[in-house]
Structure 1
């Protein structure tokens, strides 16, 4: 059974058990979920993989940290790069502070090449984006294109070339390929919308978007859904600028996900892809659909591969050969894609004379893109040496100290709200860590803990929604879940083990410090003594070696012997945390 998200319709259940949205003007997005997940996307209901802690713990002694929240804000204020200035300009315009907006506009103008006009620089339409899509972006809150998005539009819309987009985590990469994709498909989408092709079950799929995980496919499907007129708000507001009657783009466009056994079977043996214009999915299952001739590569107008390095690792060359035809427009994207991998894509004819897109520049030569910065500049990076059996106890103390520091240096309640991601090696360990942290952090009112288990857990998409909406503020995850997921204002990332590669560290750290976020962004890795050199080597390879700070676990405070309740709680915490096995050191 499949779950289909609709903005202006209602959920209805067919005779075969499939939940779908009653026909609406803006179309539908199929996410391929079924069973208990076939309910309204926004219903807040904790079950299965998530839970909440209760009440509030006393403050622990602060960790010795060199960079406080206030110092971070000062540092970011001094960093006047284009992305930061654009974020400030967007907030100034939303606040209707036009004097401040004018000052920021002048700063942007000063950073532009000679002769460039800031008015064109901040307008989607000036890069060739169709009016309906530019209007939709602005209504969704993306009034200004970010640097990587501008460069991608220059390469794909102005120069009409294939592109490899190499961007930092959290720099706006999703729109850097979504906007060119929809812009290039605009005429065909309007033709489908007006000519009756939407009802033609034999009409070919126009585009594929290849991603490495089901979670990322769902996230990108919902993004496409909004861009194509869909509304994810929990409550209808007829006066909203997102109202369906304000949408001027092609209507009824359908997007579906193919990323597991069920959706792949329904695509190859059933009617899942009938009348679909855009398909998102993982390499394995998309290749299976293409090999069955349900999708013909020669009929595709565009193929985009997000997190290209991971998709290449998952599917191999044969899979990508199956998905990519010489006729279509192609883009590959990622924060950890290397020039060598782009060169391989060219030699394999997955890309045709591509331009290499970075935040600073569009390169003609692949070799010129080597050495680009791969992590957001505003992050603080730390490591802590702990014995494996003390790792959870140290993690609890560091989290409490970081939260106390954040609350002490924040000027408003919203700035004082921590949003924490903890990475562990696998889902089995994730379950154990979540269970123990719930037990020992029951007294900390700010801790609301959930665990994301895409392979073995239930309601993973709802868990992501809870974290995004603030229903939970501490998320336990595995490395497989880290790529591409964009959660607002993650303040702290903790690695409860040594990341296995610089790519893992890059994507895990990149959950914080994303463009447009106000949270400080602190990344802490808890590693064994024998792994100290390895974490420092990762830092050196990512060119953050000088910024990597060593911190120490807070001293354990013994309770007052006359306070029976505190003594019992202390002993219970000690039992739950220090009986646990810590993370395995890297071999």
Structure 2
């Protein structure tokens, strides 16, 4: 060691001189950028942050024996469950909740709910999210999308709480945004259920806040003051709380947008982009949608980083577990025929109508005929809507009459029959409506009334949807000519409308695009004072 000491000193001196040279090079480079020595500390700090940013939210890894399996095996599993994936470095699909490494309390909770095996979207979606990747999830309604983003956020928050307990006014760490109050309340209930089971199993208590319109802000703030791990919110109320600095997203690292297509359609795109600006650090972003029109694709490109797209069935396709029956009924005969349709299946039954006035009229008529019915629409206050949904879900009422406010993701597992009193103006809404039945592998019936008042382009989309799902097409729709060039071949791409995803027309004849352009033209030169009127306070 003594003999080699001079050589070691010389080697050390050489390294120091090279470090000095590189240091002087760095100084000259910073000077050329116009950065003085006083600013240098902040520059080095910023550069060091860049190297620290890419980090997963969870220390989760798939089981070694699954990671060791070949890519050919993973592809076989995806083909078996009809799962299409796009992206780089896709995590392997996992076919059981136990292999996903969920705690025993969550596994017991799933079993209690009758959930034995993950659905196709869960097989690929949950491992993707647990791996820390941004994701776009496209699946027909009733496919189990909600568990795909609720179970991982619970795991993320549980690990954070174990590392360092949340203090007062801290959080949320995970944020879920929903288009309607009812869907937000339902999602919050699912989170509370699994958090309670974990706490009963001697694990830390995870707190979840619900921030929606129609509820007292004071009541919501009481929960937030104690520190929250997760928050479920509607865009309007969340914007209000962020602007008033009552909620902070400084430590939020997980964002899930449920029913994103509905939120964009409702005019919340600007609000959601504003919410993005309140995030201080790197976040994992998840976007879930039953349909994927062009507008949503563009939004996803700008909001997500190298996302993995998981598609179970064509975006905008109807569930194959729903038997679709389309019947021509004159306007004046609808109410009487409605009673006849109610006899097809035992309760509970869900009836959709486009207008609030129609919902009230149907509700009143059913009550007069002795049917146990409740009604919800945007004109009713929050307490009334909540009580109606709870009574229907608990089996105290047999029929729920609603506008499309109840079509956005609400889960009523026992529903065997959905009746569309009228055909919605957009085919996307039709897909959401009939998706309330035939959920989680069960079979359901959807009856739709059509007549001369229906828009022809929507009827052509409906015809194409029925053909795609191999359903019976009524004579009144058979006479409509869609043209081979507009129809989407099963498994084909690039056909139908590129804007709204409808199969029965091209983008040149898209009624939705035309309506949007007309609205934009009418607003030219006029200040939009009602820009935030859609906010769900």
1:265 & 1:426 partners in 2: Cα distance?
33
Does residue 420 of structure 1 match 2:349?
Answer: yes
1:472 to 397, 404, 407: 397
1:393 to 317, 333, 336: 336
1:207 to 170, 174, 197: 174
Query: Which whole-Å deviations, capped at 9, do the CAs of 1:145-171 have from their partners, x for residues lacking one?
Result: 21111111232224x211111111001
User: Whose radius of gyration is greater, 1 or 2?
Assistant: 2
How far the C-alpha of 1:189 sits from its partner, in A, is 3.2
2:448 alignment partner, SS class = strand
2:438 alignment partner, SS class = coil
Quote the residue 1:299 is aligned against. Answer: 251
- Residue pairs, 1:506-521, within 5 angstroms: 506-517=431-442, 520-521=443-444
- Runs (5+) with no aligned partner, structure 1: 1-107, 114-119, 231-241, 361-370, 404-416, 553-585
Quote the residue 1:48 is aligned against. Answer: none
Quote the residue 2:224 is aligned against. Answer: 273
Please say which of residues 126-135 and 176-185 is displaced more in the overlay: 126-135
Q: 1:298 touches 1:327 (CA, 8 Å); kept in 2?
A: no
Q: 2:463 touches 2:473 (CA, 8 Å); kept in 1?
A: no
How far the C-alpha of 1:396 sits from its partner, in A, is 1.7
2:412 alignment partner, SS class = coil
Query: Which whole-Å deviations, capped at 9, do the CAs of 1:563-586 have from their partners, x for residues lacking one?
Result: xxxxxxxxxxxxxxxxxxxxxxx9
1:174 & 1:110 partners in 2: Cα distance?
23
How far the C-alpha of 1:373 sits from its partner, in A, is 6.2
Q: 2:81 touches 2:120 (CA, 8 Å); kept in 1?
A: no
Using CA pairs under 8 Å that are at least 6 residues apart, name the structure with larger relative contact order, 1 or 2.
1
2:339 & 2:363 partners in 1: Cα distance?
12
1:152 & 1:514 partners in 2: Cα distance?
18
Query: Which whole-Å deviations, capped at 9, do the CAs of 1:258-305 have from their partners, x for residues lacking one?
Result: 1116544766xx545212221111111112222233333332021111
- Residue pairs, 1:106-505, within 5 angstroms: 111=80, 121-130=94-103, 132-158=105-131, 160-191=132-163, 195=165, 197=166, 200-229=167-196, 245=200, 247-251=201-205, 253-260=206-213, 262-264=215-217, 271-274=222-225, 275-324=227-276, 325=279, 327-338=282-293, 340-347=295-302, 350-359=303-312, 371-372=314-315, 374-400=317-343, 402-403=344-345, 417-439=346-368, 441-442=369-370, 447-457=371-381, 458-505=383-430
Quote the residue 2:449 is aligned against. Answer: 526
User: Scaled by the length of structure 2, what TM-score is found?
Assistant: 0.65
1:431 & 1:150 partners in 2: Cα distance?
42
1:262 & 1:221 partners in 2: Cα distance?
14
Give the length in aligned residue pairs.
Answer: 387
Quote the residue 1:560 is aligned against. Answer: none
How far the C-alpha of 1:551 sits from its partner, in A, is 9.0
- Runs (5+) with no aligned partner, structure 2: 1-76, 83-92, 477-511, 516-537
1:536 to 459, 462, 469: 459
Q: 2:372 touches 2:397 (CA, 8 Å); kept in 1?
A: yes
